[in-house]
């Protein structure tokens, strides 16, 4: 599903803007958001994501539009503000019912709803993305390092011998024999 994000709105909601001060702080905040999105969104959504930032001029050395790790990034340099460009992108969208627009700005939310797009408050959307990311991390951590199938007896014996456990292997073999009624 295509995703259209009001960049600075999300940055303000999550508190990334304002943490650091300096000549590159805004650029670093934008980069942090874009990297977070690229790492947090499902891979098939990354290529369908567009982020729009306010900008009278694009940052030095950057075009008005670019790709960052598969995400389309626009600097609204030819618009009064990012909201105007976002409204135009909503209006121009060929299938707005599939579009999700992320912004806490009521103007943007109304524009999305007029076209039957899904409008999501930035704070709620961010909380959901963080929750989904944590689920994926926990699910990946729960996946054991053990092989998905039982090891072959020969493999077990090999590794026990590699780590000097011949005595343990002999003991385990004797226990198995005694449990099986002494059969080899």
Alpha-carbon torsion (100, 35, 53, 50), positive or negative: negative
Taking only Cα atoms into account, the Rg of the chain, rounded to an integer number of angstroms, comes to 27
What's this model's pTM, rounded to 2 decimal places? 0.74
| Residue 129 CA to its chain's centroid (Å) | 7
d(CA 123, CA 103): 8
Mean per-residue pLDDT, 10-21: 75
Name 52's bridge partners. Answer: 6, 74
Q: What's the pLDDT tens digit per position in 85-124?
A: 999 999 999 999 999 999 999 999 999 999 999 999 999 9
In whole angstroms, give the CA distance from residue 144 to residue 4.
Answer: 37
């Amino acid at each position: 599903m295509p995703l259209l994000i009001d960049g600075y709105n999300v940055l303000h909601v999550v508190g990334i803007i304002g943490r650091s001060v300096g000549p590159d702080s805004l650029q670093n905040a934008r980069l942090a958001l874009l990297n977070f999105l690229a790492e947090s969104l499902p891979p098939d959504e990354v290529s369908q994501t567009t982020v729009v930032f306010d900008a009278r001029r694009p940052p030095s050395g950057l075009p008005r539009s670019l790709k960052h790790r598969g995400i389309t990034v626009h600097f609204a340099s030819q618009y009064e503000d990012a909201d105007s460009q976002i409204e135009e992108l909503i209006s121009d969208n060929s299938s707005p019912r599939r579009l999700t627009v992320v912004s806490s700005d009521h103007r943007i939310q109304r524009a999305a709803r007029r076209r039957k797009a899904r409008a999501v408050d930035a704070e709620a959307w961010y909380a959901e993305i963080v929750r989904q990311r944590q689920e994926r991390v926990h699910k990946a951590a729960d996946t054991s390092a053990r092989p998905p199938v039982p090891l072959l007896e020969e493999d077990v014996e090999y590794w026990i011998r590699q780590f000097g456990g011949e005595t343990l292997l002999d003991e385990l073999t004797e226990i198995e024999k005694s449990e099986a009624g002494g059969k080899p």
